[in-house]
């Protein structure tokens, strides 16, 4: 299973379109050994007036299944979708969830030797996405080739052994996915990218006595980084100015780290640590150092807040994105599998005391 990553416009989707023969290349050549099926979206060709049953046949044919094959797997498809009772209802009466489930059920029962997938995971709820990921894992395990294009680094990391990083239509890196993803995330071609500018943000609250102007991550040695490895030391650097140009006193600073369901997983507060700033100059940077970052790999958002003299001065939600990649949390030389949301240090031993 191979993952394709890269910025928007890097040529990921174009590559898939060429491999699926939707568009033809201007130069170069590709050889494909085996039967190809592509999932550039689910439910291609579904017609709202047709029933679930009819759409299974139509969609199956469009995806390249033979009629006999659909006949054989029909019951399985229906069972997988879980909409047996509505199979003879026109799909226009379906809820959008039912629609997607049926569409995915058809796609999941394709039996190609090579499966090309593009961002299909971007649709549906979390449970559905998990189901998709699981099914793709099955396909890959059964010895078939899966080519997955995604912005979801987590999915690529979990599913693909190998990743290819495309940039401006050519290959930047190709290798074990963990390594390529890291390279991609850390690519410092444009150092400005490592620095989130906040001065322009207008969706902020507070009286504005102190305003955040930027957010940056640094590693233990103070080098700017794009992503945090699990268990690594990270410094959150918050740049600020005081618009009045005078020092401010009694400043509290805090930030939350939240996942994409807006669950606040971590809260860092100068107040809770008893480390408020009695006085700050008119411009500067505040650093919060976190040893052994405990969250599992994924994308998180950071909400910033500050107050001066107990009045909110600047609050910005989703101020920055925090990318966490896997790392050697326990210092054992192995990367942590990220099997839970949090990791904390612990020790194991055998109890030798008499009972």
Partner 1 sequence: MVRASSDTPMVLIQPEHGIAALKLADLWAYRELLYFLAWRDVKIRYKQSILGPAWAIVQPVCTMVVFSIFFGKLGKIPSDGVPYPIFAYVALLPWQLFSQSLNLSSQSVVGGAGLITKVYFPRLIIPLSSVLASLVDFVIAFGILLILMFYYGIVPTWGVLLLPGFILMAIFAALGVGVWLAVINVKYRDVRYALPFFTQFWLFVSPVAYPSSMVPAKWQWLYGLNPMAGVIEGFRWALLGTRPPLVTIYIAVILVAVLFVGGIYYFRSAEKMFADVI
**Among residues 93 and 264, whose Cβ is nearest to partner 1?**
93
Phi-psi region of 101 (alpha: psi -120 to 50; beta: other; left: phi over 0): alpha
**Among residues 90 and 214, whose Cβ is nearest to partner 1?**
90
**Among residues 30 and 189, whose Cβ is nearest to partner 1?**
30
Burial 12-33 (b: 16+ CB within 10 A, else e): bbebbbbbbeeeeeeeeeeeee
- Supply the DSSP symbol for 39: E
Q: Can you read off the two tokens belonging to residue 355?
A: 């009972």
In three-state secondary structure terms, 15 is helix
**Among residues 21 and 262, whose Cβ is nearest to partner 1?**
21
Report in angstroms how near the CB of residue 2 gets to partner 1 at its nearest. 13
**Among residues 28 and 222, whose Cβ is nearest to partner 1?**
28
Burial 191-206 (b: 16+ CB within 10 A, else e): eeebbbebeebeebeb
- Check if the beta carbon of residue 153 is closer than 8 Å to that of residue 5: yes
Choose among 209, 204, 264: nearest CA to 241.
209
Report in angstroms how near the CB of residue 199 gets to partner 1 at its nearest. 40
- Supply the DSSP symbol for 43: S
DSSP codes of every residue in 47-68: -TTSBHHHHHHHHHHHTT--HH
Strands 224-225 and 264-269: unpaired
- Contacts with partner 1 by CB under 8 A lie at 17-36, 38, 40-41, 44-45, 47, 49-50, 54, 57-58, 61-64, 66-67, 113
- Check if the beta carbon of residue 163 is closer than 8 Å to that of residue 156: yes
**Among residues 34 and 222, whose Cβ is nearest to partner 1?**
34
Q: What stretch of H or E contains 166?
A: strand 162-167
**Among residues 32 and 199, whose Cβ is nearest to partner 1?**
32
**Among residues 28 and 274, whose Cβ is nearest to partner 1?**
28
Report in angstroms how near the CB of residue 17 gets to partner 1 at its nearest. 7
Q: How far is residue 108's CA from residue 157's CA, in Å, rounded to a whole number?
A: 21
**Among residues 35 and 272, whose Cβ is nearest to partner 1?**
35
- Supply the DSSP symbol for 200: T
Report in angstroms how near the CB of residue 147 gets to partner 1 at its nearest. 14
Choose among 222, 146, 220, 157: nearest CA to 184.
157
Q: How far is residue 333's CA from residue 118's CA, in Å, rounded to a whole number?
A: 34
**Contact residues for 262 (Cβ-Cβ < 8 A; gap 6+):** none
Q: What is the dihedral of CA 157, 119, 20, 2, to 10 degrees?
A: 0
Report in angstroms how near the CB of residue 73 gets to partner 1 at its nearest. 15
**Among residues 47 and 334, whose Cβ is nearest to partner 1?**
47
């Amino acid at each position: 299973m191979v993952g394709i990553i890269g910025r928007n416009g890097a040529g990921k989707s174009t590559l898939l379109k060429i491999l699926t023969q939707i568009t033809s290349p201007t130069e170069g050549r590709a050889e494909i050994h085996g039967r190809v099926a592509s999932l550039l979206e689910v439910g291609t060709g579904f017609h709202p007036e047709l029933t679930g049953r009819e759409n299974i046949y139509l969609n199956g044919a469009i995806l390249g299944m033979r009629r006999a094959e659909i006949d054989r797997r029909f019951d399985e498809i229906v069972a997988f979708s879980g909409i047996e009772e509505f199979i003879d209802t026109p799909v226009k009466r379906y809820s959008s969830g039912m629609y997607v489930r049926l569409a995915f059920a058809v796609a999941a029962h394709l039996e190609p030797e090579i499966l090309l997938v593009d961002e299909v995971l971007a649709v549906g709820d979390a449970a559905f996405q998990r189901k998709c990921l699981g099914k793709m894992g099955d396909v890959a395990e059964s010895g078939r080739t899966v080519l997955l294009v995604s912005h979801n680094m987590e999915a690529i990391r979990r599913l693909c052994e190998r990743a290819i990083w495309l940039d401006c239509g050519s290959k930047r890196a190709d290798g074990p996915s963990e390594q390529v993803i890291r390279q991609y995330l850390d690519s410092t071609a444009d150092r400005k990218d490592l620095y989130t500018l906040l001065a322009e943000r207008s969706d902020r609250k507070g009286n504005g006595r102190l305003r955040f102007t930027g957010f940056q991550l640094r590693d233990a040695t103070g080098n700017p980084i794009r992503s945090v490895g699990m268990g690594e030391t990270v410094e959150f650097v918050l740049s600020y100015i005081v618009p009045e140009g005078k020092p401010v006193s009694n400043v509290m600073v805090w930030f939350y780290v939240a996942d994409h369901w807006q669950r606040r997983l971590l809260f860092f507060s100068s107040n809770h640590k008893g480390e408020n700033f009695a006085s700050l100059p008119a411009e500067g940077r505040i650093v919060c150092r976190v040893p052994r970052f405990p969250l599992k790999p994924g994308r998180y958002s950071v909400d910033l807040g500050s107050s001066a003299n107990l009045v909110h001065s600047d609050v910005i939600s989703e101020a920055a994105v925090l990318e966490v990649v896997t790392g050697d949390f326990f210092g054992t030389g192995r990367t942590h599998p990220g099997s839970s949301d949090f990791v904390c240090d612990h020790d194991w031993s055998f109890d030798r005391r008499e009972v």
